[in-house]
């Protein structure tokens, strides 16, 4: 869009980023629209055909009926299919699930003794960091005599839109589905000095906190360098720090880190 192209995003479901909390997904959609990207939700593509002068024509169906869009390029995102069919797994008796992923236990062992599977081939979040941690688990257990597992590990990720969305741990929706007693800390980025200084104050920081233990269960950081702020919260989660440690910590001014003071002060306001 910033190079001058008209961009339209078609989403079949009722919100972008369906694994995120609705307030996070709606804020992302609003930011994209502010940047003049046309975001259309509940838009089902029913027909694709070549148009005049090498254009592409889409017929979509939405709440207002069918419409036709045309453009020069089409990017289709429908998920990933593992290439395990090339491995002749049946020869070794290694089973896969209905999607073609190799099944493993928490130590990444397949049902066949002595054979392990790591990375995207076993399904789950297809992130570089996850694959590397899989390697760490197998190395620890096979070469170092350890007992590492995937149980309870935090899997962070950052969506590199502008501003970024960093996420780790439980969403509010997931925590409530588990019946946890929670509190929600929320701070708009327009209350973060560093964000104001770089003229990117859109978005917010949201943290889910256990109401009894004061442990941070998860966070979503939609804002300037959101992935970096998320990583700070992840470190606190890894260290099992209660949110009060960050609320009362001294952070350099003006940095994004000091936003953690304001974020958790909202719980005690």
What are 92-124's pLDDT values in tens digits? 999 999 999 999 999 999 999 999 999 999 998
Taking the C-alpha atoms of residue 30 and residue 28, their distance in angstroms, rounded to an integer, is 5
Phi, psi (deg, nearest 5) at residue 162: -130, 105
Q: Is the model's pLDDT at 269 over the cut of 80?
A: no
Catalytic residue from among 47, 73, 99, 253: 253
Long-range contacts for 147-151 (Cβ within 8 Å, ≥24 apart)?
148/107, 149/106, 149/107, 150/106, 150/107, 150/108, 151/106
Residues counted in the chain: 269
Residue 47 appears among annotated catalytic residues: no
Helix spans in the chain (H): 22-34, 128-143, 172-177, 193-197, 226-238, 243-247, 259-265
pLDDT at 204 over 90: yes
Residue 131, pLDDT > 80, answer yes
Q: What pLDDT is stored for residue 218 in this prediction? A: 98
Question: Are the beta carbons of 39 and 9 closer than 8 angstroms?
Answer: yes
Average pLDDT estimate for 254-267: 97
Residue 187 has pLDDT above 80, yes or no: yes
């Amino acid at each position: 869009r910033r190079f001058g192209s008209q961009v339209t995003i078609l989403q079949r479901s009722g919100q972008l980023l369906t694994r995120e909390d609705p307030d996070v997904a709606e804020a992302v959609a609003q930011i994209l629209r502010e940047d003049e990207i046309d975001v259309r939700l509940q838009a089902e593509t029913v027909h694709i055909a070549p148009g005049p002068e090498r254009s592409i024509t889409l017929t979509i169906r939405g709440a207002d009926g069918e419409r036709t869009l045309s453009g020069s390029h089409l990017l289709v995102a429908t998920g990933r299919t593992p290439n395990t069919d090339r491995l002749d797994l049946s020869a070794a008796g290694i089973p896969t699930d209905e999607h073609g992923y190799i099944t493993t236990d928490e130590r990444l062992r397949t049902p066949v003794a002595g054979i392990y599977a790591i990375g995207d081939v076993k399904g789950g979040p297809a992130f570089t960091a996850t694959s590397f941690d899989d390697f760490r688990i197998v190395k620890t257990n096979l070469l170092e005599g350890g007992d590492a597992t995937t149980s309870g590990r935090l899997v962070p990720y950052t969506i590199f839109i502008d501003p970024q969305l960093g996420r780790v741990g439980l969403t509010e929706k997931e925590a409530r589905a588990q019946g946890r007693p929670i509190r929600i800390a929320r701070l708009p980025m327009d209350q973060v000095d560093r964000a104001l200084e770089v003229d990117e104050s859109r978005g917010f920081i949201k943290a889910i906190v256990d109401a009894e233990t004061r442990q941070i269960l998860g966070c979503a950081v939609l804002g300037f360098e959101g992935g970096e702020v998320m990583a700070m919260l992840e470190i606190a989660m890894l260290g099992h720090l209660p949110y009060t440690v960050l609320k009362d910590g001294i952070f350099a001014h003006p940095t994004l880190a000091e936003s953690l003071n304001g974020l958790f002060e909202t719980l005690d306001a």
